[in-house]
A = this chain, B = another copy of it.
Amino acid sequence: MKFRHMFALFVLVTVSLSIFTSGTVMAQSTLQKVMEERGLTEKDVLAAAKTYVPTGGRDDYVVFSSGGQSGHLIVYGIPSMRILKYVAVFTPEPWQGYGFDDESKAILAQGRIMGKDITYGDTHHPAISETDGDYDGRYLFINDKANPRIGVIDLHDFETKQIVANPFFRSAHGGCFVTPNTEYVMEASQYAAPYSHDFVPLEKFNDEYRGGLTYWKFNRETGRIEAENSFTFEMPPYSQDLSDAGKGPSYGWGFNNSFCSERYVGGIGRGRPPFEAGCSSKDTDFLHITNWKKAEELVAAGKVTKVNGAYLITMEQAIQEELMYLVPEPKSPHGCDVTPDGKFIIVSGKLDSHAWVYSYEKIMQAIADKNFEGYDPYGLPIIALHDALERSVNVGLGPLHTQFDSEDGVCYTSIYVDSQITKWNYRTGKILDTIPIHYNVGHLMTMEGDSKTPDGKYLVALNKLSIDRFNPVGPLHPQNHQLIDIRGSQMQLLYDMPLPLGEPHYAVAIRADKLHPVINYRTGWNSRNDERSPHRSRAGRERTVRNGNRVDIYGTLIRSHINPEIIEVTEGDVVSIHLTNLERAQDEVHGFAMYGQNIQLSIEPGKTASATFTADKAGIYPYYCTEFCSALHLEMQGYLLVQPKGYKAAEIQIEDGTKYTKEDYEAQVATNIATQDVINQVVGFITSHNYQDFATVVALVEDATDQLGFADEVKAKSEAAAAEGDYQNAMLWANQWWQYQVKTADLGLRAKTFLEQNGAVKIK
């Protein structure tokens, strides 16, 4: 900090600053003064201006980043680097109700391993669905390395819809990568294990432990993976790693690399050198090349048999049908990246300083010529390096992953040991620029950087350490994503972004205008299977249905009450509470938490969500709304009464703690009339302006109209009670009438402010 500050002062005395001193409203707080106070250099201010997104502005790109061991997907914006959402995939998350409502519990149950609930995931590589090799913004896939599974997220609502568990693998790092039309999602195994779920001694490692690569069939119509139509390539017990799908000329092929092709089994506790020694002794590992298009035909022709209930293409079959080949690659590689034109595959070994550029054309020629330098111990043909390589380029110590620029041939490689990004040209082999990062970068990402048409513009370095970058928060540090401007000839560091939860490994960035998420659901919607919920309810149709000791409550939520407000069940009942959010307005989410039953639901507008539990102990269980939804949000409450078996209600009624008179009623009505005057004024303002040109205001007006409609309903109840001389209820309903007026006024005032701030004009 001391040094930064000194440098800043130096810049300030040598550069004349005249901006913002010309008598504007900002005069008293000029940029120069702020720079002095905060020790900012001119470079800092430029970076600030390049990344700052003003209130109400939008980011240009949306990033989907793995959440590492958090089991979530992280969504953030570029250039602001603001995190917009954590989407729960493998880990229960109460804010989203994920793993708490029955509907999402069913998704998590799909991911059970040997019948056991696994309540986390080690997410690594997200992939956006593609159409003709370009991101289409429809779906997102992400893998769990620890328990090999794939999560499917629908980007129309940013919810996890499906989890599939791999039928063969015991770990899978090399996913997800998609084929150019999302025909398949690729998932490669990592640590070799037997395909059976039985014990097989390590002594049989070479013979019975296996790696592999699964091509998961994706159905774009249903938005779900079809496990029954997916197939897996059996592979040697090398540690298969990252993958990429061919595109353009290489369409129909898949590429994935590996480490520990030494097939070394460590055992440091037994005096053997550790895995890390034995897994990096050879100079090369193997790039695996698979023909998924031809494999698909074999499957369709009924020529592939099922093992563990899923199609398995054995190595024997792959050799016989000419589906799989190997090429040596630099040892312990990480990235495996097909160039945008589909002509080259770039591989880097972390223990080599070169990026190796393979030619798809040369590989195909060698295959056509059956020009192999030999066969691996399993009989897989090996293409000689010199027959497949276009060139190798010295990019730095510990190259890892390569992504692409919009400019033809230009690419960027993350350099782990040297802690830098190297910009180079894979067509010429020329190094173009380098920039240091803090510290030890893993993957990197350019905008739409592994699509057919990368956008370039920005690069994010996904750094593994943050050490001295941020305010300290204890021994467990945040990760650090550094945003780099790559639009000029020299790369410029713009921003350091701490990642507060989970260690992201890989990320993908899509142009924001390709995403079109909804703001609400069709009424009574089960968002997890995208069908109308059989448990939905609507206003006035709330009901309780009992069948033996099973009780179903069909309730609704609206600002600001839960219907029903009192639920009575008997000790031992199995209770399902099904709640439908009646709101249509954007962002009007209601939550639902209940004491002692581990229930926390998030019910977005239109959604129906359910919670099932056993009322195993008599007692009083308050429940309430957990999303601040209106001024009377705290009063959005209720009681579950679990009565002892055999309990008979007494004949007494609930006695109101406060009694109201005719005068109370009349005073409330007077207030309501005054409030209506305020509302009318606001309405007058809105309708005298061109509010219909502002979608936000139109939505607010619609919502306000709804609220005022509700006010009319309860006003009628109030007046009916008053007519009967029941001033207790007349007063209470009159107050509810006022509550709806307050909600209306709230919306109206928001609309008015919006019009004032956004240049609305008066209409004649």
Indicate if the CB atoms of A498 and B83 lie closer than 8 Å: yes
Indicate if the CB atoms of A636 and B595 lie closer than 8 Å: no
With A3-B759, A654-B205 in contact, do A488 and B120 touch (Cβ < 8 Å)?
Answer: no
Residues of B within 8 A of A249 (CB): none
A198 at the interface (CB under 8 A from B): yes
Contact residues of A between 387 and 430, Cβ < 8 Å to B: 397-398, 416-419
- Can you list, as one digit per residue, whether each of A597-632 has a CB less than 8 Å from chain B (1) or not (0)? 110101011110000000001111110101111011
Residues of B within 8 A of A83 (CB): 83, 498, 500
Residue of B nearest to A470 (CB): B84
Indicate if the CB atoms of B49 and A635 lie closer than 8 Å: no
Residues of B within 8 A of A301 (CB): none
- Can you list, as one digit per residue, whether each of A267-299 has a CB less than 8 Å from chain B (1) or not (0)? 111101111111111100000000000000000
Residues of B within 8 A of A377 (CB): 657
With A54-B44, A657-B206, A757-B436 in contact, do A417 and B746 touch (Cβ < 8 Å)?
Answer: yes
Residue of B nearest to A639 (CB): B202
A306 to B259, CA, bound (A): 65
Residue of B nearest to A41 (CB): B54
- Can you list, as one digit per residue, whether each of A104-131 has a CB less than 8 Å from chain B (1) or not (0)? 0000000001101111111000000000
Given B24, B34, B203, B474, which contacts A159 in the complex, CB threshold below 8 Å? B474
A560 at the interface (CB under 8 A from B): yes
A753 to B668, CA, bound (A): 72
Given B117, B275, B635, which contacts A598 in the complex, CB threshold below 8 Å? B117
Residues of B within 8 A of A193 (CB): 620, 622
Residues of B within 8 A of A241 (CB): 634
A626 to B120, CA, bound (A): 12
A308 at the interface (CB under 8 A from B): no
Contact residues of A between 64 and 80, Cβ < 8 Å to B: 67-72, 74-77
With A34-B46, A52-B40, A482-B55 in contact, do A332 and B635 touch (Cβ < 8 Å)?
Answer: yes
Indicate if the CB atoms of A500 and B84 lie closer than 8 Å: yes
Residue of B nearest to A207 (CB): B655
A171 at the interface (CB under 8 A from B): yes
Contact residues of A between 15 and 72, Cβ < 8 Å to B: 15-20, 22, 24, 26, 28-29, 31, 34-35, 38, 40-59, 62, 67-72
**Besides the known contacts A85-B478, A264-B732, 12 further A-B residue pairs in the complex with CB atoms under 8 A apart:** A4-B56, A17-B19, A19-B42, A77-B471, A147-B595, A205-B654, A262-B656, A264-B658, A272-B732, A277-B735, A436-B757, A501-B501
* Minimum C-beta distance from A638 to chain B (A): 7
* Minimum C-beta distance from A361 to chain B (A): 31
User: Can you spell out 24 A-B residue pairs with CB atoms less than 8 angstroms apart?
Assistant: A41-B54, A55-B495, A58-B470, A58-B471, A59-B470, A114-B617, A122-B593, A146-B624, A147-B595, A191-B624, A199-B619, A199-B647, A200-B620, A203-B654, A261-B657, A269-B542, A275-B561, A276-B636, A277-B736, A280-B632, A334-B634, A351-B631, A476-B602, A503-B627
Indicate if the CB atoms of A147 and B265 lie closer than 8 Å: no
A607 to B475, CA, bound (A): 10
A644 at the interface (CB under 8 A from B): yes
A442 at the interface (CB under 8 A from B): yes
Residues of B within 8 A of A34 (CB): 46, 49-50
A668 to B283, CA, bound (A): 10
A575 at the interface (CB under 8 A from B): no
Residues of B within 8 A of A268 (CB): 561, 563-565
**Smallest CB-CB A-B distances: 10 pairs:** A263-B657, A269-B564, A48-B52, A94-B120, A158-B474, A277-B736, A475-B604, A274-B561, A273-B732, A48-B48
Indicate if the CB atoms of B266 and A438 lie closer than 8 Å: no
Given B203, B274, B517, B565, which contacts A275 in the complex, CB threshold below 8 Å? B565
* Minimum C-beta distance from A695 to chain B (A): 9
A202 to B261, CA, bound (A): 70
- Can you list, as one digit per residue, whether each of A716-740 has a CB less than 8 Å from chain B (1) or not (0)? 0000000000000101110110010
A354 at the interface (CB under 8 A from B): no
Indicate if the CB atoms of A264 and B656 lie closer than 8 Å: yes
A118 to B465, CA, bound (A): 33
With A4-B57, A496-B56, A563-B269 in contact, do A617 and B419 touch (Cβ < 8 Å)?
Answer: no
A538 at the interface (CB under 8 A from B): no
A649 to B419, CA, bound (A): 46
A598 to B144, CA, bound (A): 12
A374 at the interface (CB under 8 A from B): no
A74 to B95, CA, bound (A): 13
A156 to B757, CA, bound (A): 45
Residues of B within 8 A of A476 (CB): 85, 96, 158, 589, 602, 604
A545 at the interface (CB under 8 A from B): no
Indicate if the CB atoms of B46 and A598 lie closer than 8 Å: no
A272 to B191, CA, bound (A): 63
Most buried by B among A117, A209, A417, A657: A657
Indicate if the CB atoms of A602 and B69 lie closer than 8 Å: yes
A55 to B437, CA, bound (A): 10
A468 at the interface (CB under 8 A from B): yes
A182 at the interface (CB under 8 A from B): no
A150 at the interface (CB under 8 A from B): no
Residues of B within 8 A of A594 (CB): 146
Indicate if the CB atoms of A277 and B733 lie closer than 8 Å: yes
Interface segment among A336-344, A446-454, A518-526: the answer is: A518-526
Indicate if the CB atoms of B84 and A478 lie closer than 8 Å: yes
A1 at the interface (CB under 8 A from B): yes
Indicate if the CB atoms of A517 and B474 lie closer than 8 Å: yes
Indicate if the CB atoms of A595 and B496 lie closer than 8 Å: no
A48 to B1, CA, bound (A): 20
A217 at the interface (CB under 8 A from B): no
A733 to B245, CA, bound (A): 37
Indicate if the CB atoms of A565 and B518 lie closer than 8 Å: no
Indicate if the CB atoms of B595 and A171 lie closer than 8 Å: yes
Indicate if the CB atoms of B199 and A641 lie closer than 8 Å: yes
With A472-B515, A474-B518 in contact, do A276 and B635 touch (Cβ < 8 Å)?
Answer: yes
Most buried by B among A28, A262, A470: A470
Given B1, B266, B696, which contacts A561 in the complex, CB threshold below 8 Å? B266
Most buried by B among A1, A22, A266, A606: A266
A197 at the interface (CB under 8 A from B): yes
A173 at the interface (CB under 8 A from B): yes
Indicate if the CB atoms of B85 and A274 lie closer than 8 Å: no
Given B47, B159, B203, B542, which contacts A653 in the complex, CB threshold below 8 Å? B203
Most buried by B among A45, A54, A119, A173: A54
Residues of B within 8 A of A55 (CB): 438, 469, 482, 493, 495-496
With A276-B736, A500-B75, A656-B264 in contact, do A42 and B26 touch (Cβ < 8 Å)?
Answer: yes
Indicate if the CB atoms of B94 and A71 lie closer than 8 Å: yes
* Minimum C-beta distance from A24 to chain B (A): 7
